[in-house]
Structure 1
Amino acid sequence: MPVSPTTVVVGASIGGVRTAKALRTAGYAGDVILVGDETALPYDKPPLSKSLLAGSAAVEDITLLTREQAAAASIQLELGRAATGVDLDACEVELADGTCIHFDDLVVATGARPRPSPWGAPPGVHLLRTLGDATALGAALSRGGSLVVIGAGFVGAEVAATARGLGVEPVTLIDPVAVPLSRSLAAGVARRIGELHNARGVHTRFGVGVSGIDHSETGLRVHLDDGSVIEADSAVVGIGAQPNTEWLDGSGLVLDDGVVCDRFGRAVDSHANVHAVGDVARWWHPAHEQFRRVEHWTNAVDQASCVAHNIVRSDEPRAHIPIDYVWSDQYDWKIQMVGRTSDDLRQIEVAGQDPDRCFAVLYSDAAATIAGAVVVNWPRALIACRRAVMSGATLDEVRGRLGGLRSRSVEASAAPGLG
């Protein structure tokens, strides 16, 4: 009697869970085993810095897969069992308890973790990546006192916004870049986000770095490069992330800022059927003609679907060519990015109904084709921009469409009984 094939998915966050589910949707009839190092049920990560930290969502609200759902889909959960290695010759995943799990296909979905604090981690200093991290930070914020957030990227900015929403005061946001978020957003947009934090009561120290953190009986002392010192009860360090690939050292897989994969999500130079998805995957992007590793929720979801298809239909593999999409919620602002938004592209701004808080920045290439957009508080514009990027519309076409949306919004708000 033939033995059913087995796909082992290592990593139980969004990439791993979506891969396991997508295998079943694609008609995979073999065994699916989902391995995670945390004992908690798989959960979503973006709410950790927002709704979960704010207390407006509970753990069950962000759970990605319950035991009942896993059983219904015939997904075997192996939680609290960290993977420590892989033997490509034997096609086995090695676990911390010394046991091994055989695979016919292996999907690496171990994600990324925060870069550790280079200034040490005295009591009161937090990182934010896991449910345990969010619980510890939430408890600290509930006790009150001052907060320092080091790193004004999306996670740091979201934590600062959430803390202010909880009434934490003072909150200080520090970043060595003079215009934080300008690595991801157009400088003008990034500057507005900085001003938003100031307007909501956050003290910003931009263009200055941290030289050290020490702990005393009264709390934390954060030393800045300009010689100043900020006293705080708690601090959050959000200075980027690094892929979780150490468990694959010595496996024979090519590791270079992630698991290096081809355009189909298959690990390069591997004689075994090994794939990678999500934050840990560095794959060849055919459209960009370069290897990329993307730490975006949407990318993990799309890549999981692609890899699941390629496992089930290995004779008809599908390349992973996503249109980038990422969002950030800060206070009552929603910032959304689609496509390419690099500084080497032409940029124009289109105002929405309320230009102070509703607008879009469009990016176009040398041929005046829309390449991407940053959209703030304008849902209909975001939909139009995503469609335009997918269809290859011109910059003028998109600008005209958004102008029409703005006009209709103004007319609707001025109509009797509306607005």
Structure 2
Amino acid sequence: MPRPLLVRALFGALLAILTACSEGDPKPPPTEPVPPATWHKDVAPLMQQKCGGCHTEGGIGPFALQTYADAQTHRAAIKESIQSGTMPPWPPSADCNTYQHDRSLTADQVALITRWVDEGAAEGNPADAVAAPPPTGGLARVDLRLEMQDPYLARRSPDDYRCFLIDWPETRTRYVTGFRVDPGNRATVHHVIAYHAKPDLVPLYQQLDDQEPGPGYTCFGGPGGDLTRASWIGAWVPGTQGLTFPAGSGIRVDPGSKVILQVHYNDHGARAVADKSSVALMLEDSVQKVAILQPWANPDWLNSPATMRIPAGAADATHTWSQELTPFVSSITSGTFVNNVPLTIHTAALHMHTRGTRARAEIVRQSGTRECLLDIPRWDFHWQGGYSLQKPVQLWNGDRLNVECHWDNSAPGATDRQWGEGTDDEMCLGAFYLTQ
């Protein structure tokens, strides 16, 4: 057969085959309708896992979300808050790093709860109830419990910041290897930071305590005195289950020390109720690696607060502190760590006051590349804490640890602000759990 006729014949055969296949293709099966979402099967497990730490009877949340009746009553507020991203509160940006114990909702989870509300917030069958995943993290065991000596009734409304000195009862050196706060009154305790005052610093904080009628003394942004001297043990915000520190590590506490509990009370406009909070600690006699919670801020800000000036009228005032840590780590940790030896960063936290808008902590590598540790793109003073990195990060010689803070001081009648402990002062502070 001549070549043109052969090509024409093959083309015709191929066209016939394609036409036959097309005519014979079965139609796709109809899509099964998605069953309506229900409280018991779909929504309750999410509420218990992501919201239950705050929205309980007597909790810091303004209403409980433990039952179908609770959620059905507040369904409109639930939808609005999850779509806006304000609830559950999880400030870190997902574009920066990944963290343990993430309480944020995924896009699919937001869509599910939204659909449940839009469909009428059905209760469903209690027999379909699905158990909520157990909370991650937590304190493995409790070896020591330290409690405020006397109950405290908040004296300021809506916010009261109070520090309480607690004796350290151990008669030998111990290492804190886990930490949890047990609020005495969850309806008013908004957050707690536990500081450790070494024996030589105890008189400084005892003097602050003695200057005010008890219990405790007024404090804001820190325990009072020099922030770089009282070291952190741990922090708590509602929803936190406690934390067992990385295996083999712990914070050293010597006999004669004191623990300072800084408690932020917020009464939500309700009648104040007395509180007697406590901390639960896991202890060891020795650890493989001594750890510290290292505050990180420009010493010039502490020594000359006006160097961190935030001008009146500034809608985006910015201050940054960037410095190598390894060459000086021995002096700032009182010899706990050795100079010029790499460090491991396990957790990161940032702290500002009420005019903060956003903050970021990162490593600027010797090569010039930047590695984000923690980014808070929408600062909220009422929701701050430490965040455990899913993957610890090494800090090498030549690397700089960088914190950057932004404030909006443009409100009518605003005056210049600067570093300080007061409500109308500001701070730009990082804190990192480190081992070497």
What is the TM-score of this pair, normalised by structure 1?
0.26
Larger Rg over CA atoms: 2
Bigger proportion of residues as helix: 1
TM-score of the pair, normalised by structure 2: 0.25
